[in-house]
Amino acid sequence: LRRLCILKGIYPHEPKHKKKVNKGSTAPRTFYLLKDIKFLLHEPIVNKFREYKVFVRKLRKAYGKSEWSTVDRLKDNKPTYKLDHIVKERYPTFIDALRDLDDALSMCFLFSTFPRTGKCHVQTIQLCRRLALEFLNYIIASRSLRKVFLSIKGIYYQAEVLGQTVTWITPYTFAHDHPTDVDYRVMATFTEFYTTLLGFVNFRLYQSLNLLYPPKLEVQADAELKPAEGKEYAMDSESYLEKLSALSASLARVVPPTHEDEVEIDEFPVEGEVAEQMDERKKEQEALEKHKKLFEGLRFFLNREVPREPLAFVIRCFGGQVSWDKSLCIGATYDVTDPSITHQIVDRPRVQQQVVGRYYLQPQWVFDSVNAKLCLPVADYFPGVLLPPHLSPFVTEQEGDYIPPEKLKLLAMQRGENPGTTLGTVVSGLGEESEEEEEEEEEEEDDNDKEEEEEDESEKEEEMKLKKMEEQKTQSNKVQVWAGKLRLEDKERLEQEQQSEEKRLAIMMMKKREKYLYKKIMFGKKRKVREANKLAAKRKAHDSAVKEEKKKSK
């Protein structure tokens, strides 16, 4: 039943009267709708499951009697079942399937990192790996990645596939220590369904882009000419998957790509608000296009200590070119020594041999740039430098929420310097770069100076105020003015007080239910404010501590 429920997506139901349903006791039990269970009974797959059970029993018996011919015969006739109709039934339209893709993707990515031994079938793992790679390749081909987030749990990706946002998480590529309190059979059942779903979704997605499915690489024709290259790394059968996983080559299309994408939207003369809306939409579209071409023309090189797959995926998604050390993985397109490399991703505190003409950057730069939708200034991300905080792109601050200062800075940058910077940094040559760096350093110094100046100014202002106060005290004429001011404040305060009192009295007159709701809402609001204040205070304390340390070190 559990398996059926998972496959068919049946979930329990919370009854309205728990006591009535449960014959008077309030012990926690799961309740399913009778309708749902009847629905499950009519499922043809139930018979298949029974067949499979019988098959397993027969096989065990044959093994026990060591009748090998029977075993062979049974294995030959192993009953199989397909989940196609269930997928179709659960997701009547393609959009529905896309909407529910989050869990499927996360699960497939998790299973694809499992070791090939124990826990679950090797075929499942391989299938998961293949499907996940196919999906990644689709994302690259369609350039639909939007946000990336490096969390302590794993890497979150968010893509926009046919108007639906799909978010998935991949674990960092380390061996898992398999927990004992996890029921792998449940996970395997989920994965079984998810692989089927993802396969069909992939097929449809590839079709929508006129790509071949199963995917073929464009370079494969070349690779066939010199098959020796591939054999260094893997057997022939595996090399296909490996190459696919390299994510470096673009996919072959059914129809060779023609330049018809750039058909501009016909412009109709429209009036008023519609025109404004159209303009806004157009602007958004432009911004999106720009975002998609963020790394266009840049050539990256990944050092071997950098996680290759996520970085290669992200960079390729935004139009950049990537390569890595030849011995690291198949599919490297150019060498370290290639002079046309613009950015080298390094994750060590120091770089041994620096080649002139390229930035040495930490991997966070790539992710932050993607999230900021513009190429960030590189100075903060040099190797060995203390990195700026990595912010979550999924948080959209509402009014009254706490916004970290880095985010404010970023928002300002997006507003002010959005036009120009994205391409500006790309075009800038060698000489300019060094100049820019210097300038940036200078700017930083300037900032510090400015801050100090500001402090000085504020101190001065305070002094001035004090002086003025003293003057006022000495001059009797001005005392009256002072008093007048006070009265004005009093009036305002009185008014406020009166209003607050009125409000309090009105609250007293509220109905009980509404009062409860009101109190709850107000409590929630207050808690939010309190949390924001707490964060702000913490930040302030931290900043002041850092400043003091700096002063001490100076």
The β-bridge relationship of strands 155-161 and 164-170 is antiparallel
User: For residues 56 and 186, which CB has a smaller minimum distance to another protein in the complex?
Assistant: 186
Amino acid at position 229, single letter: E
Residue closer to another protein, measured from CB, 60 or 153: 153
Q: Which is nearer to another protein, 265 or 506 (CB)?
A: 506
Q: How far is CA 260 from CA 286, 288, 312, 385, 514, in A?
A: 18, 19, 28, 45, 60
* 50 or 542: CB nearest another protein: 542
Binding residues among 438-477 for another protein as defined by CB under 8 A = none
Query: Of 88-96, 137-145, 285-293, 321-329, which segment contacts another protein by CB under 8 A?
Result: 88-96
Q: Which of residues 178-197 bind another protein (CB under 8 A)?
A: 178-179, 181-183, 186-187, 190
- Quickly list DSSP for 356-382: TTSEEE-THHHHHHHHHTS---GGGGS
Report which secondary-structure segment, H or E, holds 170. Answer: strand 164-170
* Segment near another protein (CB under 8 A); pick from 332-340, 382-390, 413-421, 470-478: 382-390
Residue 169 C-beta: closest distance to another protein, Å: 8
Record the tokens describing residue 405, joined without a space: 């200062």
Of residues 331 and 363, the one with the C-beta less far from another protein: 363
Q: Which residues are registered as beta bridge partners of 169?
A: 156
Q: Is residue 126 packed enough to be buried (19+ CB in 10 Å), middle (13-18) or exposed (0-12)?
A: middle
Q: Name residues whose C-beta falls within 8 Å of residue 77's C-beta, 6 or more positions apart in sequence.
A: 55
What are the phi and psi torsion angles at 343 (to 5°)?
Answer: -130, 135
- At its nearest, how many Å lie between another protein and the CB of residue 490? 16
468 vs 539 by CB, closer to another protein: 539
The DSSP code sequence of 230-281 is: HHTTS-HHHHHHHHHHH--SPBPBSS---S-TTPPPPPP---HHHHHHHHHH
Q: Is the peptide bond before 15 cis (omega within 30 degrees of 0)?
A: no
Q: Which of residues 337-366 bind another protein (CB under 8 A)?
A: 347-349, 362-364
- The site for another protein, by CB under 8 A, has a size of 106
Stretch that binds another protein, among 173-181, 265-273, 290-298, 326-334 (CB under 8 A): 173-181
Nearer to another protein, 228 or 505 (CB): 505
Q: Which residues lie across from 345 on neighbouring strands?
A: 302, 361
Q: Which stretch binds another protein (CB under 8 A): 27-35, 219-227, 324-332, 350-358?
A: 27-35
Q: Is residue 111 within 8 Å of residue 191, measured between CB atoms?
A: yes
Nearer to another protein, 456 or 531 (CB): 531
Nearest approach, Cβ of residue 311 and another protein (Å):
9
| Shortest Å, Cβ 52 to another protein | 15
Residue 214 DSSP one-character state: S
Q: At how many degrees (to 10) do helices 122-142 and 101-112 cross? A: 120
Tell me how far the alpha carbon of residue 380 is from its chain's centroid.
22
CA–CA separation, 362 vs 357, rounded Å?
16
* Range in contact with another protein (rule: CB under 8 A) among 164-172, 224-232, 257-265, 312-320: 164-172
Residues 6+ apart with CB under 8 A from 199: 131
Tracing tokens 């090399």 back to the chain, one arrives at 239
Q: Which of 57, 203, 452, 490 binds another protein (CB under 8 A)?
A: 203
> Taking CB under 8 A as the rule, does residue 136 contact another protein?
no
Q: What minimum distance in Å lies between the beta carbon of 213 and another protein?
A: 7
Of residues 330 and 381, the one with the C-beta less far from another protein: 381
Task: Assess 395 for contact with another protein (CB under 8 A).
Answer: yes
Does 230 help bind another protein (rule: CB under 8 A)?
A: no
- Contact with another protein (CB under 8 A): which of 100, 325, 440, 443? 100
**Binds another protein (CB under 8 A): choice among 22, 126, 164, 167:** 167
Residue 169 φ/ψ, nearest 5 degrees: -125, 135
Subset of 260-319 contacting another protein (CB under 8 A): 305-307
Contacts of another protein in 141-160 (CB under 8 A) = 149-154, 156
Instruction: Name which of residues 484 to 543 contact another protein (CB under 8 A).
Output: 501-512, 514, 517-518, 521-522, 525, 535-536, 538-539, 542
Q: Closer to another protein at the Cβ: 139 or 201?
A: 201
**Residue 344 contacts residue 330 (beta carbons within 8 Å):** no
